[in-house]
Structure 1
Amino acid sequence: MIPSDATFAGTFPLTPHFTDAPGFRMHYVDEGPRDGEIILCLHGEPTWGYLFRHLISTLSRTHRVVVPDHMGFGKSETPTGRSYWLQDHVANLEAFVAALGLTGITLVMHDFGGPVGMGFAARQPDRIRRIISANGPTPFGQPDLFDRLTANAAVSPWFQWIAKAEDDGTLEPVLNNLGFNILSTLKLNGFENNAVINDTWIDAYGAPFATATECLGALGWAKGFPTGAHRFETPDPAADRTIRSRPALAIWGEADKTLHAEHFLPLFSAIFPSAPIERLQGVGHYCFEDAPETVSGLIADFLRRT
């Protein structure tokens, strides 16, 4: 776990907050006016709230931006004796939101934050005001979800490696040392903006995974796919109607090597057929790193218009 006061040479100068509501010490950023509209940013694999630092800077002038680190990531605790499947993270988020009393939420979801956020939306639809997917899948009971996951896995280097590594027993040894191979993992997934890579940046992304125990979160998210342990939430009819009525936006870096637009944007359009989709050429999986100004601007404009 990263020290609570770590700012990584001033690149993340944000006040740390903690809650024990999900049953472990969960870190979150809470910036902006207390009475502002709530933007809840959900990171994925293998990142943490640091991913959203540019977005926080942009939106916190006018909005309350809340950014939790999932269990096993960032400055949050990595408890032993807990499972790290999708359904666990959804339950953690539900407890977190209840503890903070958040309502009128705009979800901003990246990578695995998509399934976590949509799982939460299925359970708590009345708390959701808007949906923003930024290279984040939006599973919401679509009948072709499994087929799309399978088709994507066939062309994704990350998912191909996970399946092979789980089969030959190398998944744990590699991911248990994620702090030392964080850059190669990010590049495998489709990270394009090499100009931002320096020692501070690598330290910020590698620091949460200093020991094998601290890698339980990253290992769980990866291992849940080949083992079938992840459970995707299916909304009831009322939740489905509520979420489909919300304003939504998709932003997709088309150089994403892990989550291909052709397989995942149809999931978004199935829920929000008239919602805008911004496709960014030359931008990879980590769109918040590859094009932070562009992505932040698109989100800020969408908030103004809706």
Structure 2
Amino acid sequence: MIAAHETFDGTFPYRPHFSTAAGFRQHYVDEGSGPVVLCLHGEPTWGYLFRDLVRRLAPTHRVVVPDHMGFGKSATPADRTYWLQDHVDNLEALVLDLGLRELTLVLHDFGGPVGMGLAARRPELIARVVSVNGPTPFGQPGLGAALAANAAESPWFGWIARAHADGSLDAVLGELRHTVLSTLKLNGFENNALITDTWLAAYGAAFPSPAEAAGAIGWAKGFAAGAHTFETPGAEARAALAALPALALWGTADRTLAARHFLPLFAEAFPRGRAVELPGVGHYSPEDAPETVAELVERFLAETAAETRARGAA
């Protein structure tokens, strides 16, 4: 766990906030005021991934960025499991604790299924959805086939399966403090200009020991062991979400989540949505192309503001 007031040489200058609503000490950034933008990170990152987006959006929006259990500045309890359904439980508890409504979800990596789990359970809280190289599973019949096809060609998912089978997964991911760059690279991180001692410290410091890498281990192991449970929405939730404005931004150099497998699922869940592919941008698109991602998100928020206000007032 990263110390609460650590700013990594001023690159993450946001005041820390904490909630215990989910039964552990969960950190979140809460900057600005206005319509709520809830940013959800994935593997093996934390809220630091969205530092530039927070800076860009906070003058006009309330930007809330939680660290999932076992990541970033959040605690890593030893007596908890770290499956998808646990993270959805935690997110739901946090959102209700903070009284957040009319949310714009910004979803990256496994933040996608976590956020979509919240949407399935609480569709009345969601106003817009932005997928940033983040899958949007929503009970589609083709989800299993898409996951299998993607896993068959993804270096990351291939390694997870082999490491789980030979018993090395826990030991290898337990050393993320020292190997986080190789993990980011395996998944498809492209912007080498960002690699400094400060940047490496920001991503490695979340995992100071094997015990504190339980979040990253759990997410990977859950796929290999089939322990993650994807939320299946009811008909009302499906219809409510299908009517919402939605945007997908997908770096096409992503080595972990291929656009051809996941953008069709996005289009199925959000028939009014728009997809923008970003050539040369990898899996960690908020790192590889922060200005492009921020500009596209800002434009989407501005273009859909009137509709969102009208929907909220109805």
Partner residue, 2:310: none
Counterpart CA distance in 2 for 1:239 and 1:275 is 16
Partner residue, 1:292: 290
Partner residue, 1:12: 12
With the length of structure 1 as denominator, give the TM-score of the two structures. 0.99
Counterpart CA distance in 2 for 1:108 and 1:125 is 15
> What residue identity is the alignment partner of 2:29?
V
Give the 5 Å matches for 1:112-151: 112-151=110-149
Asked if structure 1 preserves the Cα contact closer than 8 Å seen for 2:242 and 2:272, the reply is: no
Counterpart CA distance in 2 for 1:49 and 1:275 is 25
**Which of 216, 230, 245 is the matching residue for 1:218?**
216
With the length of structure 2 as denominator, give the TM-score of the two structures. 0.96
Aligned partner of residue 18 in structure 1, secondary structure: strand
Q: Deviations over 1:226-274 (max 9, x none)?
A: 1000000000111111111110000000000000001010100111223
Q: Identity, % of aligned pairs?
A: 64
Displacement after TM superposition at 1:156 (Å): 0.3
Partner residue, 1:277: 275
Counterpart CA distance in 1 for 2:109 and 2:20 is 25
Counterpart CA distance in 2 for 1:271 and 1:208 is 33
Counterpart CA distance in 2 for 1:120 and 1:126 is 10
Asked if structure 1 preserves the Cα contact closer than 8 Å seen for 2:243 and 2:272, the reply is: no
Counterpart CA distance in 1 for 2:23 and 2:239 is 32
Partner residue, 2:32: 32
Partner residue, 1:44: 42
Partner residue, 2:308: none
Counterpart CA distance in 2 for 1:172 and 1:84 is 13
Asked if structure 1 preserves the Cα contact closer than 8 Å seen for 2:4 and 2:16, the reply is: yes
Counterpart CA distance in 2 for 1:230 and 1:275 is 27
Counterpart CA distance in 1 for 2:238 and 2:112 is 16
Which 4+ residue blocks in structure 1 deviate beyond 3 angstroms? none
> What residue identity is the alignment partner of 2:5?
D
> What residue identity is the alignment partner of 1:26?
Q
> What residue identity is the alignment partner of 1:45?
E
Counterpart CA distance in 2 for 1:94 and 1:3 is 25
**Which of 208, 225, 228 is the matching residue for 1:227?**
225
The Cα RMSD (Å) is 0.5
Counterpart CA distance in 1 for 2:184 and 2:133 is 14
Aligned partner of residue 97 in structure 1, secondary structure: helix
Gaps of 5+ in 1: none
Counterpart CA distance in 1 for 2:277 and 2:251 is 6
**Which of 146, 153, 166 is the matching residue for 1:168?**
166
**Which of 192, 197, 207 is the matching residue for 1:194?**
192
Residues matched between the structures, number: 304
Counterpart CA distance in 2 for 1:222 and 1:24 is 21
> What residue identity is the alignment partner of 1:238?
E
> What residue identity is the alignment partner of 2:127?
R
Counterpart CA distance in 2 for 1:42 and 1:135 is 12
